[in-house]
A and B are shown apart, each in its own frame.
Chain A
Amino acid sequence: MTGGVTRAEYCVMACAEAWRGDGEVLAAPMGAVPRIGARLAKLTFAPELMLTDGEAMIVGGDPEAVEGWLPYRAHLGLVTGGRRHVMMGASQLDRHGNQNISCIGDWKRPVRQLLGVRGAPVNTLNHPTSYWVPRHSRRVFVERVDMVCGVGHDRVAAATPAAARFHDLRCVVTDLAVLDFATPDRTLRVRSLHPGVTADAVREATGFPLDIADDVPCTREPTPAELRLIREVIDPEGAREREVPS
């Protein structure tokens, strides 16, 4: 059953790993692959995770069973209370972990208006934050983001101490690799390469110099049980393959 593991399935599993050890917090995934990953984590090694239906309900072990109510304003309370780990998207991300989902170009008159800052500032200053990038490219991994929505390590260091108090950037999962900030200067490094991806391919797709250790490991294999859950229980329609085509 482990034969023919797709790139999307490695991504799902790597996203699931982001929530390992978090305990009883709300896993807040943005995007199809992180959503599948969060369910996978909950159904395997992190059963205490809380998940929502994407709107106002907290759903329990049985996805149909509502176990709690979380309308937007209560959700914001949960964010600032810190019992949450979000995995957001990023239109741009720099080596310090600054993230942009607002606009491309000059903010005063953007070349391309995107979503807006949304909850990225409140998320990044209050609880663990990870990122999901379905297409690792130089357009996303830039030297400097055009608008800092999610706050990176350099910007936190330059701000008042209250900014750093609960700031906690965890990992960045892309279609090529898993990255984190476990370097002395808290900048991005590659934690693992997905099987079949070379270090050069990741360097080539990144818009700033990226250190990749010679002995960088491969992203681990999903277990047969994990693959079965992904393929038969959580995502039988294959939404993951539409986000990360094989």
Chain B
Amino acid sequence: MSRQSNRTTDSKKMNSELFTLTYGALVTQLCKDYENDEEVNKQLDKMGYNIGVRLIEDFLARSSIGRCQDFRETADVIAKVAFKMYLGITPSVTNWSPAGDEFSLILENNPLVDFVELPDNHSTLVYSNLLCGVLRGALEMVQMAVDVRFAQDTLRGDNVTEIRMKFIKRIEENLPAGDE
């Protein structure tokens, strides 16, 4: 009991480290299982997608956010609410295309890469590619087809981490045949 007093453990921080380290273990395993980085990227994206389609339910239930009117509002919700809620960071939204269908998320500090250093022989590995899948999967569940990819990554020597998102189309709700 006497020791208890001088222990100050920040459980929020620990929890984020648990996530970061688990993700690292996953990427390590994938790199062992697959021969090239492209395959690993693809697998991470796929797993992210699976997470995204579930995470959106959790998100909508807890944030009480309704349908977005346009892509700009979507961008705001992603950066200010979703990223804040799940990763504890607020990326900035920049580089809008003139048509307003494309923007970038700039991540100041990506929690997924907290303890990570990429070895030289993995130069094409997109370490945090899971995030792309998550965003794509989540948005697909709210009828938005979006293309998501990493444009820049600090792990590969860029100054910032940039996720580029491009709106493709609105997914029509398909009523089953014979349903009025």
Q: Do A and B come from one complex?
A: no
Binding site for A on B (CB under 8 A): none
